[in-house]
Structure 1
Amino acid sequence: MAQPVQPVLSERVDFADIPPEFAPTPRHPIRVRSRPMPAGVRVTRHTHAWAQVAYASRGVLRMTTVGTTWMVPPSRAIWVPPHVLHEVTIVEEAFLRTLYVYEDAVPQGLDACRVVEVSGLLRELIAALDTPDLPPERERLLGSLALDEIIRSEPLPLAVPMPTEKRLRALCESVLADPAATDSLERSASAVGASTRTIARLFRQELGVSFSQWRQQAVLARAIPLLSQGRPLAQVAQALGYQSQSAFSAMFRRQFGESPRAFIVRGAEHRAADNDDAPDLLDGERVDSALPGSPMS
């Protein structure tokens, strides 16, 4: 029998206070902040005047806005435009690099959140930007090329739309917490105090999809951290409520255009290339960013 996939409980809540040296300015339009982040940290809902790119060379992030949640796998990145209210949870211990982009430097076409592939070039550009005392001209050149790579990167279908209506929100959160549950829509609706007809109408009205279509996106989102842990594919399929590994793989391939194994292997290759760049928790030059209370956003 499939074991429920338990949600990660927050061990520590951080607030989105950005140290002044990391805030982008007209002179320094792109700043990079890198640090290790323990699993379970949640950065409370906040907004800021600049855009950001959150990129974990290892670990999994969950980014949530008012209407959507994204599960961000290792070696992929999420773009968040300026003034977007968002919350971040570290699902698995991560080494995180965040680019903060001055609002006037944001190029056209990046006006919505998206999870993107991190190309080898983008990975190296982010690492190069994460160098102390960069000359301003080199910083601008590297930053401009990094933004161009983000524009060209292929968005990944990892967005799970989230409703605002409280009964529908409660139902969706319960599915995200335990996607292997086989409760019918009628039973799920009853659990949140609504009729099946009401919940079906709300799904169409608020999210524009059926319950089954939405649930498939939720399953994909929950699959990402399980796959990134290196669990056997059959175990992941079972944990997500699939009766066979082949059925889960077929669904995954329809969404991503490749097998779960190929998707995770590509991320592993990026992580291997990043190992020399990601310092240990006790690295003397990085130790301040690992101290308790260091916020993520």
Structure 2
Amino acid sequence: MRTLPPTPGPGPTGERPVCLYARDLPADVSVGAHSHEWGQLTYAHNGMMRVSAENSSWIVPPQRAIWIAPHVVHEVTMLEAACLSPLRIHATRDPFRGERCRVVEVGSLLRELIAALEPGDQPRAPERAELLGELILDELARAPSRPIRVPLPADKRLRGLCQALIDAPGDTRTLADWAPAVGASERTLARLFERELGMSFGQWRQQVRLAHGASLIARGMPLWQVAQQLGYASQSAFTAMFRKTFGTTPSAFFADDRIKS
């Protein structure tokens, strides 16, 4: 995987608190770990990405974006080719006071406001850019949050295992199968999952599959295909797991998104 530097360009100012710097990125590239003096709404209007920060990972489809507070170290990995369009937001205009990371829905109005914002630091109509920025901040503060967070461990052996499953959530190997590959016994790995992540290996893998599955459903992939990609024996098995976690079916969970879109 190729690692790229962050998008260049100056940050937001008091006069222009919201600015956008877009660039097209292919799949399987990563914007290496970095931080900013400003806050950032990491967003791509097409394609899918993975954002890692604060010992957690989030799978982010086009209907979602993730707020990253100033000075939070983060990394972005493109799971599909996309136009990465992060919004840079002045630290004094933080829409989510006290929250370092927050996943938000990108509804139709917020999506169109972002699309209308000229990229770069010298818009042809600065007054219009300022007004759009204020509308974006107002809409962003109202945006509902529906995150599926995947916690990440500090232990190097466990982190390697977890990263491999995040990259291939349909992998069906057991903890005993993984033990020789990471250089630790099955018992040691089981203890590490409970100690570092507060859950069993099976529970953690379910979170990974939920994160990927929710994003694929949001993209419009049929449920049977989602289940197949994630290693489930059938669509009904995946639906049962989804209902157990969220108390509703995948179709009902995403019904509001389809109405808003």
Please state if 1:13 is matched with 2:3.
Answer: yes
1:13–1:42 CA contact under 8 A, matched in 2: yes
Q: Report percent identity of matched pairs.
A: 49
Cα distance per residue 1:33-52 (max 9 Å; x no partner): 23333222211111111111
Cα offset for 1:185? 2.1
1-structure distance, mates of 2:220, 2:108: 22
The code of the aligned residue for 1:95 comes to: C
Over the residues paired in the alignment, what is the CA RMSD in angstroms?
A: 2.7
1-structure distance, mates of 2:77, 2:96: 28
1-structure distance, mates of 2:204, 2:104: 21
Instruction: Work out which of the residue numbers 124, 130, 133 in structure 1 matches 2:124.
Output: 133
Answer 1 or 2: higher relative contact order, Cα 8 Å, separation at least 6.
1
1:110–1:151 CA contact under 8 A, matched in 2: no
Instruction: Work out which of the residue numbers 173, 179, 183 in structure 1 matches 2:163.
Output: 173
The code of the aligned residue for 1:239 comes to: Q
The code of the aligned residue for 2:79 comes to: V
5+ long unaligned stretches in structure 1: 1-9, 274-297
Mapping for residues 129-278 of structure 1, pairs under 5 Å: 129-130=117-118, 132-136=123-127, 139-224=129-214, 226-227=216-217, 230-255=220-245, 259-261=249-251
Change in CA separation of 1:256 and 1:156 when aligned onto 2, cut-off 3 Å: farther
2-structure distance, mates of 1:58, 1:256: 26
Corresponding residue SS for 2:3: strand
Instruction: Work out which of the residue numbers 33, 57, 75 in structure 2 matches 1:69.
Output: 57
The code of the aligned residue for 2:62 comes to: P
2-structure distance, mates of 1:33, 1:266: 30
Cα offset for 1:188? 2.2
Which stretch of the first structure deviates more once superposed, 164-173 or 35-44?
Answer: 35-44
TM-score by length of 1: 0.76
The code of the aligned residue for 1:33 comes to: Y
Cα offset for 1:225? 5.5
1-structure distance, mates of 2:4, 2:239: 37
The code of the aligned residue for 2:66 comes to: I
2-structure distance, mates of 1:258, 1:140: 41
Which stretch of the first structure deviates more once superposed, 109-118 or 213-222?
Answer: 109-118
5+ long unaligned stretches in structure 2: none
The code of the aligned residue for 2:22 comes to: S
Which stretch of the first structure deviates more once superposed, 220-229 or 242-251?
Answer: 220-229
